């Protein structure tokens, strides 16, 4: 690391993810659930602007309503990176938030991963993706896939990753207007926790029409607005829940079909269209 303050500043994407399928295969002694899931990125997400500071302070603007600065995953990621590397530099970080919170789109995890990779570059630390992913895992189960930046088959709690290449359809993502608390879904007694593990080859061979999300029945029961959005969209295109919700996504073959569906949704819900991506746009920008 050089002594001089690096002059550069970076504008970086923090893309959303979808869980194209999600099975719950068990529960560990610490309460965390063993999953098998396929992660894919979207060409839609938050944007972070990062600039180094020479006084070691981490300043985030604007804050997120309801999230204290020291709890914000961006600030926590920056502090962990300082602690891990001993770097004396700080950062000014400006967040353009587009992804709904508690949406199952991994917004907070993606913001954390973009912070780790962005500050590693700005502070010229040269940490490996493996080390950054290990740092990130302590912040959230979904951080490692955003750090590695490739669509993946994930096992464990989401940290054992194998890169995959999935179909890249268009999606219409609908936010049913409520926030789902991930811990509440994982605490629910009726959640199915014993789907027999399958091989990655079998999951991929079945293809999109065979994929499902084990959280769906529980989320439907706990959050009727999610059930309503799933029912309405399913009549128009193959539709699934991402993560533990609240967002649901319809799969379309063409952008025109996505536009038609968005038009039909009108003002009923907040919704956006996006294309599935097998490589994170963050890694395209940073060329990692
Ligand atoms: C379900 C997924 O959306 C799939 O992508 C994610 O694994 C959830 O990731 P996340 O929102 O980053 O969740 P975390 O902040 O790691 O965990 C929130 C809470 O959900 C529960 N949790 C989460 C992940 C997991 N594999 N098992 C769990 O039981 C735990 O009670 C945990 O305290
Ligand atoms: N930078 C951040 N962006 C969003 N949420 C944050 C951030 N920092 C902390 N949080 C907290 O994390 C919680 C989960 O946010 P997030 O957007 O990651 O949910 P999610 O899309 O459901 O994620 P997942 O798919 O990983 O379950 C929020 O409710 C909020 O309290």
- From 164, 191, 221, the end of a domain falls on 164
Tens of pLDDT, residue by residue over 148-195, are 999 999 999 988 999 999 999 999 999 999 999 999 999 999 999 999
Q: Is 46 among the catalytic positions?
A: no
Secondary structure of the chain as H, E, C letters: CCCCCCCCCEEEEEEEEEEEEEEEEEECCCCCEEEEEEEEEEEEEEEEEEEEECCCCEEEECCECCECHHHCHHHHHHHHHHHHHCCCCEEEEEEECCCCCCCCCCHHHHHHHHHHHHHHHHCCCCCCHHHHHHHHHCCCCCHHHHHHCECEEEECCCCEEEECCCCCCEEEEEECCCCCCHHHHHHCCCCCCCCCCCCHHHHHHHCHHHCCECCHHHHHHHCHHHHHHHHHHHCCCCEEECCCCCCEEEEECCHHHHHHHHHHHCCCCEEEEEEEECECHHHHHHCC
Q: 142 and 25 in one domain?
A: yes
- Using CA atoms, how far residue 144 sits from 114, 128, 151, 233, in Å, is 11, 12, 11, 31
Tokens of 268: 């009923």
Tens of pLDDT, residue by residue over 65-107, are 999 999 999 999 999 999 999 999 999 999 999 999 989 999 9
What pLDDT, on the 0 to 100 scale, is given for residue 159? 86
Distance CA 36, CA 223 (A): 23
Q: 149 and 27 in one domain?
A: yes
pTM of the model: 0.95
Q: Is 142 among the catalytic positions?
A: yes
Q: 20 and 146 in one domain?
A: yes
Residue 231 sits in a domain of what CATH number? 3.30.70.890
> How much distance in Å is there from the Cα of 210 to the middle of ligand 1?
24
Q: 112 and 27 in one domain?
A: yes
- Examine residue 144 and state whether it is found in any structural domain, yes or no: yes
Q: 207 and 151 in one domain?
A: no
Catalytic residue among 46, 120, 142, 214: 142
Is the pLDDT confidence value at 8 over 90?
no
Is the pLDDT confidence value at 7 over 80?
no
Tens of pLDDT, residue by residue over 110-157, are 999 999 999 999 999 999 999 999 999 999 999 999 999 999 999 999
- Examine residue 286 and state whether it is found in any structural domain, yes or no: no
- From 113, 143, 164, the end of a domain falls on 164
Distance CA 218, CA 259 (A): 30
Q: 151 and 45 in one domain?
A: yes
Tens of pLDDT, residue by residue over 209-229, are 999 999 999 999 999 999 999
Domain that holds residue 78: 10-164
Q: Do residues 192 and 25 touch, judged by C-beta distance below 8 A?
A: no
Query: Which ligand has the shortest distance to the CA of 103?
Result: 2
Residue 38 sits in a domain of what CATH number? 3.30.230.10
> How much distance in Å is there from the Cα of 102 to the middle of ligand 2?
5
- Examine residue 234 and state whether it is found in any structural domain, yes or no: yes
- From 164, 183, 217, the end of a domain falls on 164
Q: 174 and 85 in one domain?
A: no
Is the pLDDT confidence value at 286 over 70?
yes
Domain count, the chain: 2
The pLDDT-based confidence of 287 (bands split at 50, 70, 90) is confident
Q: 225 and 106 in one domain?
A: no
- Examine residue 282 and state whether it is found in any structural domain, yes or no: no
> How much distance in Å is there from the Cα of 261 to the middle of ligand 2?
27
Q: 85 and 200 in one domain?
A: no
Sequence ranges of the binding site for ATP: 100-110
Q: 157 and 259 in one domain?
A: no
- Examine residue 285 and state whether it is found in any structural domain, yes or no: no
Distance CA 8, CA 201 (A): 44
| Atom 19, ligand 1: residue with shortest CA distance | 183
Distance CA 230, CA 235 (A): 9
The pLDDT-based confidence of 262 (bands split at 50, 70, 90) is very high
HSE-CB for 187 with a 13 A CA cutoff: 6
Q: 202 and 127 in one domain?
A: no
Q: 206 and 243 in one domain?
A: yes
- Examine residue 288 and state whether it is found in any structural domain, yes or no: no
């Amino acid at each position: 690391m050089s002594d001089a303050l690096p002059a550069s500043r970076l504008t970086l994407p923090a893309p959303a993810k979808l869980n194209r399928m999600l099975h719950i295969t068990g529960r560990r002694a610490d309460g965390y659930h063993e999953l098998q899931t396929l992660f894919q990125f979207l060409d839609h997400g938050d944007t972070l602007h990062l600039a180094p500071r020479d006084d070691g302070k981490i300043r985030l603007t604007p804050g997120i309503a309801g999230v204290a600065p020291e709890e914000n995953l961006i600030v926590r990621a920056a502090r962990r990176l300082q602690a891990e590397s001993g770097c004396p530099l700080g950062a000014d970080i400006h967040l353009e938030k587009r992804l709904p919170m508690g949406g199952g789109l991994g917004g907070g995890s993606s913001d954390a991963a973009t912070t780790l990779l962005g500050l590693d570059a700005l502070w010229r630390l040269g940490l490996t993706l493996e080390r950054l992913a290990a740092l990130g895992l302590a912040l959230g189960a979904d951080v490692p896939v955003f750090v590695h930046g490739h669509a993946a088959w994930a096992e464990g709690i989401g940290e054992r990753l194998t890169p995959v290449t999935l179909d890249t359809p268009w999606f219409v993502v609908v936010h049913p207007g409520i926030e789902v608390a991930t811990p509440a879904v994982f605490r629910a007694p009726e959640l199915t926790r014993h789907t027999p593990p399958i091989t990655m080859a079998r999951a991929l061979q079945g293809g999109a029409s065979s994929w499902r999300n084990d959280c769906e029945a529980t989320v439907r029961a706990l959050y009727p607005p999610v059930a309503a959005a799933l029912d309405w969209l399913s009549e128009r295109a193959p539709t699934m829940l991402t993560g533990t919700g609240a967002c649901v996504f319809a799969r379309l073959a063409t952008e025109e079909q996505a536009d038609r569906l968005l038009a039909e949704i009108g003002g009923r819900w907040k919704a956006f269209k996006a294309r599935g991506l097998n490589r994170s746009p963050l890694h395209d920008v940073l060329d990692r």
